[in-house]
Structure 1
Amino acid sequence: MLREYGNLFSAFVYSVLQAALQDKAPGGWWWLSSFGAGFSCHGALLEVQAA
């Protein structure tokens, strides 16, 4: 992802999430996290259902 798109900063997590969903990654519980400027940390617990 980094080689193809470069550093997207915080938006990078959404690009990875989109790629994982398009690649039909297995469903279940996913942990999505990002780190920002200074030290800010954000996370989300996602329940993904396989199509």
Structure 2
Amino acid sequence: SPCAPLDEALRAAIHSRAQADHLRNTLAPALIELLASMVPALRKSDLHQDAPPRR
């Protein structure tokens, strides 16, 4: 049928959207945890850098 390519594209889009949602749901918490664990270390390294004194 003439709609076959469109159906295929739609199905692929829906599938990739589902994959994106799945990735977001699984990766986001891990990334947030990683960032949260990195932030204190980043703050400490900021303190140890020679920053010009503020007046």
**If you compute each CA radius of gyration, which structure gives the higher value, 1 or 2?**
2
Bigger relative CO (Cα 8 Å, ≥ 6 apart): 1
Question: Please, what TM-score do these two structures have when normalized by structure 2?
Answer: 0.28
- Structure with the largest fraction of helix: 2
- Structure with the largest fraction of strand: 1
Question: Please, what TM-score do these two structures have when normalized by structure 1?
Answer: 0.30
